[in-house]
Amino acid sequence: MNILLVYIFLDVVAFSSIIISVLPFHAKFLGAGPLLITLYISTFSFVQFFVSPYLGRLSDKFGRKPLLMTSCLADFISHIIMSVAHSLPLLFISRFMAGAFSCNISVGSALISDLTTKEERTKYIGRFNSVYSLGFVVGPLIGGFLAGSDSLNPRYFNSSIFAASINLINLLILCFFLKTPKKINTSFKEKASHSSFLKILKNKNLSYLFILYFLVNFVFSGLNGIFALWSEVKFSWGPMQIGIMMSFVGILLAFHQAFTINYIVRVLKEKKTIWLSMLSIFLGILSLTISTNYIILGVGIFFCTMGIGIINPTINSLLSKKSESSDTGSVLSLNQSGLSVARFAGQPFSGFFFQSFTFNTPLYIGLFILFLVKIYYFDKLFKKDANRL
């Protein structure tokens, strides 16, 4: 189990050292505009939407270790391509390859189920999430420093080779040290059909939560996709400064998910927590639009991370409570598919308005969407089903 946790940590360090603080500036260096940059970033999520279910099934059939090793090898090749990419098509190929084989979270979670008893599972899932968050603290910081502070001429080769080196180390760790059970525990799994998915989507107690989850993450993913470009325009930041900020974001997310969410849900319950989280994201984005110094920027980042760090697990919790026990896996799987769609749609959406209008326009549109969502879902969250939770 400890080997798996080391693998996840290193995998996230490699991934996060590139994706946020370096990728946008690398693409811009090669001549891409904001729309093309956000399309490039969203390629990973776009491919993941189609391949994730099949990768999970392949891991059930052939075992977890071969899939994890394949994912690691694909990441290694992807980062090598990125390190020598002098054209935008090569960059897109590198992200497409990474997305087509990435399964560290889904297969890693499945392996935890294989290796633990029901009593141990919650503890190790908590550790899994902790090392994942820690990776997002360390990765952007290292990647940003390796790429430097010059946004016009980022040292993307350094960051890409660092990520590839981590992938190679991870591949060796998996090959020689990771032990997996010969027999995979599939007793809890059920076959999901298209008709069962449609039945779930038509359930009014669930459908509004799916839409809420999608819209909130559509807005937040849009912000995430343009944040590096926005920071460059607003504060003249380069990869190094973005990396430092993303490490700060990682620390805040880990704190909110470890401590804040438990307290707020215990006091307010799920529905009011969702409402408060939307308000937090709204205030965070509003603070970003008026930020003229690092203090206001920090306040905005704090509220944004608190909101998104709390609302996503809370909606998942509410979905699991509202769904039939036999449908819980399918319900959460559908919600994750919606998250992938929100990411690959929200980022180019923001990129288009960033490029076509002003750097704050995507934030204003995000605020407008959140305002409408808060108004529309007030009735859904507080009046209907009032006695159930």
Specify whether the CB–CB gap between 250 and 133 falls below 8 A. yes
Confidence check: pLDDT of 281 > 50: yes
Final residue of a structural domain among 179, 207, 222 = 179
Q: Residue 38's pLDDT is what?
A: 95
Same domain, 10 and 38: yes
Same domain, 109 and 162: yes
Same domain, 163 and 224: no
Range in 152-166, 189-203, 350-364 the model is least confident about = 189-203
Q: Residue 190's pLDDT is what?
A: 46
Task: With CA atoms as reference, report the closest residue to 16 among 262, 282, 254.
Answer: 254
* 146 occurs within a structural domain: yes
Q: Rounded mean pLDDT of 278-305?
A: 96
Same domain, 68 and 124: yes
Same domain, 56 and 197: no
Rounded CA-CA distance 305/371 in Å is 18
* 186 occurs within a structural domain: no
Percent of the chain with pLDDT over 70: 90
Task: Indicate which CATH number applies to the domain containing 34.
Answer: 1.20.1250.20
Other CB atoms within 10 A of residue 293 CB: 8
Final residue of a structural domain among 120, 151, 179 = 179
Same domain, 37 and 150: yes
pLDDT digits (tens, 9 = 90+) for 114-138: 777 766 765 777 677 778 888 888 9
Range in 13-27, 51-65, 203-217, 236-250 the model is least confident about = 51-65
* 184 occurs within a structural domain: no
Task: Give how many domains the chain has, as a whole number.
Answer: 2
Q: Residue 377's pLDDT is what?
A: 77
Rounded to the nearest angstrom, the gap between the alpha carbon of residue 151 and the centroid of all alpha carbons in its chain is: 24
Other CB atoms within 10 A of residue 179 CB: 9
Task: With CA atoms as reference, report the closest residue to 142 among 231, 247, 227.
Answer: 247
Its sign, for the CA torsion 253, 255, 257, 262, is negative
Task: With CA atoms as reference, report the closest residue to 222 among 28, 113, 76, 367.
Answer: 367
Confidence check: pLDDT of 192 > 90: no
Final residue of a structural domain among 150, 179, 208 = 179
Specify whether the CB–CB gap between 311 and 216 falls below 8 A. yes
* 223 occurs within a structural domain: yes
Same domain, 329 and 357: yes
Other CB atoms within 10 A of residue 165 CB: 13
Confidence check: pLDDT of 383 > 80: no
The band of 380, judged by pLDDT with boundaries at 50, 70 and 90, is: low
The one-letter code for the residue type at 388 is: R
* 187 occurs within a structural domain: no
Same domain, 139 and 205: no
Same domain, 172 and 197: no
Task: Read off the pTM.
Answer: 0.86
202 Cβ neighbours under 8 A, 6+ residues apart: none
285's tokens: 């984005």
Same domain, 230 and 113: no
* 129 occurs within a structural domain: yes
Specify whether the CB–CB gap between 76 and 167 falls below 8 A. yes
* 35 occurs within a structural domain: yes
Same domain, 174 and 206: no
Range in 84-93, 104-113, 207-216 the model is least confident about = 104-113
Q: Which domain holds residue 285?
A: 193-389
Q: Which residues of 296-308 are buried (b: 16+ CB within 10 A; e: fewer)?
A: ebeebbbbbbbbb
Q: Rounded mean pLDDT of 269-274?
A: 87
Rounded CA-CA distance 317/331 in Å is 11
Same domain, 24 and 161: yes
Highest mean pLDDT: which range of 15-29, 160-174, 189-203? 160-174
* 234 occurs within a structural domain: yes
